Chain A
Amino acid sequence: MESAAVPAPSRVPASLRGILPVLIALPVLLLAEWALSDSPFAVYLLSVMGVNVILAVSLNIVNGMTGQFSIGHAGFMAVGAYLAGVTSLALKDVAISFLPVAVSDQVFLIVALLVAGLSAALAGFLVGLPSLRLRGDYLAIVTLGFGEIIRVAVTNTEAFGRALGLSGIPQTSSVAMVWFWVFLVVLVSRRIAGSSHGRSLWAIREDEVAAEAMGVNTTGYKVRAFVVSSFFAGVAGGLFAHFVPIINPGSFTFVKSMEVVVMVVLGGLGSTTGAIVSAMVLTLLPEGLRSAFSALAPEGNLAQQVDQIRMPVYGMLLVVLMLARPQGLFGTRELWEVVPRWLTRRRKGM
């Protein structure tokens, strides 16, 4: 595998780094919200895509930057989805009187999402502290186990609707809200990658024993990365709970975790933009296939089978990808490091 290219320090002045992206992002998001207000399918698709991007980028902090192979991300998503759902159901009939209803709804949504994120982060801390002592394959199987235990626990809890799931959660999520969190997770992930904290994570990824010998407190860094990652997985779950009609344990299985792992691996372990691009492509691909098939044969069952075909295709994609390009599409590089090089090479060739 190519050695990790540790990101170069940003050229944007430090005083602007904190506030500038927010100032740019907010109007763009509100504009998108307004432009898409009359096409529910686009809103749904963009929301699903956003949730997947949040999941992939947050998992990339653990799997890509720290090199710890965790395959239980759906468990933390489930914690977030259910706790946000329960919070919203409890606050359903409450409104802040001096604010318009829409704004008050959004305030409560943010409260629910924070509950989701914090509870998932707590779960991540409890899981991470003991299990991050384990390495490689063992860590993978233990995180998988924790994901399954969370799912079974949810299935057996009366307050979470057992196997039937939660319904009637207010559908207050919106494109702007989902993509604002996408923006936040990307910001956090990039800032971590460039910080001294991030450099410790890259060091752990490259050689854990050497990092420990250089004085990096490996357990502390790994647990912190795990907690940040689970926080955003919980938020993604919370957002998910606020735009799907019903959440049930079937949405948070081992298979969902693997879908997120595929996104991270396809993009390249360690590349944030890689995770974003592959999460978007892998969300759009089945939807695009479904539309293509239903356009070809509106009555046939091919369109219904797209969902079934998706999983074997995921499997084949993983195998082919690992054989052809084990480092993922982007390796550890980001989009803006790959594209210029590719363009100049093409120009020289001509």
Chain B
Amino acid sequence: MSQLIQHLINGIASGTIYALIALGYTMVYGVLKLINFAHGDVMMVGVYMGYATAFALGREARGSVGGVLLIFLVAMGGCALLGFLIERFAYRPLREKPRLTALITAIGISFTLSYGFQLDIGFLPGSAPRAFPQIIKPSQWFTLGDPEFPDVVLWNWQVISLMVAVALMMGLQYLVFRTRFGRAMRAVSFDHRVAALMGIPTDRVISVTFMIGSALAAGAGLLYAIKDTSVSPLMGLYVGLKAFVAAVIGGIGNVPGAMVGGLLLGLVEEFVVGYAASTWRDAVAFGFLILVLLVRPGGLFGRVAAEKV
């Protein structure tokens, strides 16, 4: 029983992080209909920015609230800028081209970032994984059983990630459905040419969407690094892929769907690792995705649009 509870806690904790990364995928897909394969690598860059900031701040500043906020701000701001540059120079020129070209460009950006960061030249970090500094001091918020060797542990960072994720999701939902900018986003998503005719600055809306998505990726990446305690240039490839899987499971383009998909994926993975075979973990995400897509081709919350001729 206590094992089950522990698996539930771990599954929800990793699920919220998938969900947060998936939110960025879903936003970009919703507006541009583009699978932003580089999203996971933007996340990785954000984590390295946070890593550099944490070292620049020094040991004593890392535990403080101000220090943590500064680390998050630098990483999220830096990634917003990176997202802007990627959108401006790689995706915008291709907006009127077939969607496949943009997809291939996204894969190209992803390779450039993840393998570029593996090089050993200049300021680049090299391919070896590194220990991420403890910017939030881990403490046990809740334990069950023997206090020395508890059966169930709820860590503070697990609660913090869940709260941050839920807050960001609610914020996004508010932004999309209750603000002028959100209305512009929905209009661009529906038909960006007509939206432009109606006087909506489509380029600016898409840029800002990209920047928000990239900033979310950086935030989620930092939470992931706190959980995983190690960072490497290739972390973005697989974490990003899984977050994308989460977004598709929930129905891509749907904000609560990304949240549910992320949580489901985290739970499924955790239970497979806990009760079946840990070496199959990477296959489980894709197997689950394929199952969901075969039953509901648009994802759990998605609608399948009829194709017009």
User: Are A and B interaction partners?
Assistant: yes
A residues neighboring B (CB under 8 Å):
1, 69, 130-131, 133-134, 136-138, 140-142, 144-146, 148-149, 152-153, 155-156, 207, 209-210, 213, 254-255, 258, 261, 265, 301, 305, 308-309, 311-312, 314-319, 322-323, 326
Can you report 17 A-B residue pairs in the complex whose CB atoms are below 8 A from each other?
A130-B294, A137-B103, A142-B293, A145-B285, A145-B289, A145-B290, A149-B286, A152-B279, A152-B283, A156-B277, A209-B307, A254-B237, A254-B241, A314-B115, A318-B107, A319-B109, A322-B94
Complex: how many Å from CA A316 to CA B104? 11
Complex: how many Å from CA A156 to CA B286? 16
B137 at the interface (CB under 8 A from A): no
Complex: how many Å from CA A85 to CA B44? 37
Q: Which residues of B contact A312 (CB under 8 A)?
A: 111-112, 115-116, 119
Knowing A134-B297, A141-B248, A148-B283 are in contact, say whether A69-B108 is a contact too (CB < 8 A): no
Contact indicator per residue, chain B 241-273, by CB within 8 Å of chain A (1) or not (0): 100110010000000000000000000000000
Q: Which residues of B contact A323 (CB under 8 A)?
A: 90, 93-94, 105
Q: How far is the CB of A68 from chain B (nearest CB, A)?
A: 11
Q: Which residues of B contact A134 (CB under 8 A)?
A: 293, 297
B131 at the interface (CB under 8 A from A): no
Complex: how many Å from CA A155 to CA B109? 29
Interface residues of B in 261-309 (CB under 8 A from A): 277, 279-280, 282-283, 285-287, 289-290, 293-294, 297, 307, 309
Q: Which residues of B contact A305 (CB under 8 A)?
A: 119-121
Closest B residue, CB atoms, query A72:
B286
Taking a contact as CB atoms under 8 Å apart, the answer to whether B111 and A318 are in contact is yes
Taking a contact as CB atoms under 8 Å apart, the answer to whether B286 and A146 are in contact is yes
Complex: how many Å from CA A308 to CA B112? 11
Taking a contact as CB atoms under 8 Å apart, the answer to whether B277 and A316 are in contact is no
Q: How far is the CB of B272 from chain A (nearest CB, A)?
A: 12
Question: Which 9 pairs show the lowest CB-CB distances between chains A and B?
Answer: A318-B108, A145-B286, A315-B111, A315-B112, A311-B115, A152-B283, A319-B108, A312-B116, A326-B101
Q: Which residue of B100, B241, B297 is within 8 Å of A138 (Cβ)?
A: B297
Q: How far is the CB of B168 from chain A (nearest CB, A)?
A: 24
New A-B contacts (12) at CB < 8 Å, excluding given A140-B35, A322-B97, A322-B102: A137-B35, A140-B103, A142-B289, A142-B293, A145-B285, A209-B307, A258-B111, A311-B111, A312-B116, A314-B111, A318-B105, A326-B98
Taking a contact as CB atoms under 8 Å apart, the answer to whether B104 and A322 are in contact is yes
B99 at the interface (CB under 8 A from A): yes
Complex: how many Å from CA A155 to CA B118? 25
Complex: how many Å from CA A346 to CA B289? 53
Complex: how many Å from CA A322 to CA B287? 31
B232 at the interface (CB under 8 A from A): no
Complex: how many Å from CA A323 to CA B97? 10
Complex: how many Å from CA A20 to CA B100? 38
Closest A residue, CB atoms, query B105:
A322
Q: How far is the CB of A102 from chain B (nearest CB, A)?
A: 41
Q: Which residues of A contact B35 (CB under 8 A)?
A: 137, 140-141
Knowing A148-B282, A315-B108 are in contact, say whether A308-B115 is a contact too (CB < 8 A): yes
Q: Which residues of A contact B280 (CB under 8 A)?
A: 152, 156
Complex: how many Å from CA A216 to CA B282? 37
Knowing A137-B35, A149-B287, A326-B101 are in contact, say whether A315-B110 is a contact too (CB < 8 A): yes
Complex: how many Å from CA A347 to CA B285? 58
Q: Which residues of A contact B90 (CB under 8 A)?
A: 319, 323
Q: Which residues of B contact A319 (CB under 8 A)?
A: 90, 105, 108-109, 112
Q: Which residues of A contact B244 (CB under 8 A)?
A: 141
Closest B residue, CB atoms, query A213:
B309
Q: How far is the CB of A254 from chain B (nearest CB, A)?
A: 7
Q: How far is the CB of A276 from chain B (nearest CB, A)?
A: 20
Q: How far is the CB of A56 from chain B (nearest CB, A)?
A: 15
Interface residues of B in 64-100 (CB under 8 A from A): 90, 93-94, 97-100
Taking a contact as CB atoms under 8 Å apart, the answer to whether B116 and A69 are in contact is no
Q: Which residues of B contact A1 (CB under 8 A)?
A: 97-98
Taking a contact as CB atoms under 8 Å apart, the answer to whether A148 and B248 are in contact is no
Contact indicator per residue, chain B 100-141, by CB within 8 Å of chain A (1) or not (0): 111111011111110110111100000100000000000000
Q: Which residues of B contact A131 (CB under 8 A)?
A: 290, 293
Taking a contact as CB atoms under 8 Å apart, the answer to whether B293 and A138 are in contact is yes
Q: Which residue of A141, A152, A311 is within 8 Å of B289 (Cβ)?
A: A141
Complex: how many Å from CA A318 to CA B107? 8
Complex: how many Å from CA A134 to CA B287? 15
Q: Which residues of A contact B248 (CB under 8 A)?
A: 138, 141
Taking a contact as CB atoms under 8 Å apart, the answer to whether B115 and A315 are in contact is yes
Knowing A138-B297, A308-B118, A326-B98 are in contact, say whether A317-B289 is a contact too (CB < 8 A): no
Taking a contact as CB atoms under 8 Å apart, the answer to whether B119 and A309 are in contact is yes
Closest B residue, CB atoms, query A320:
B108
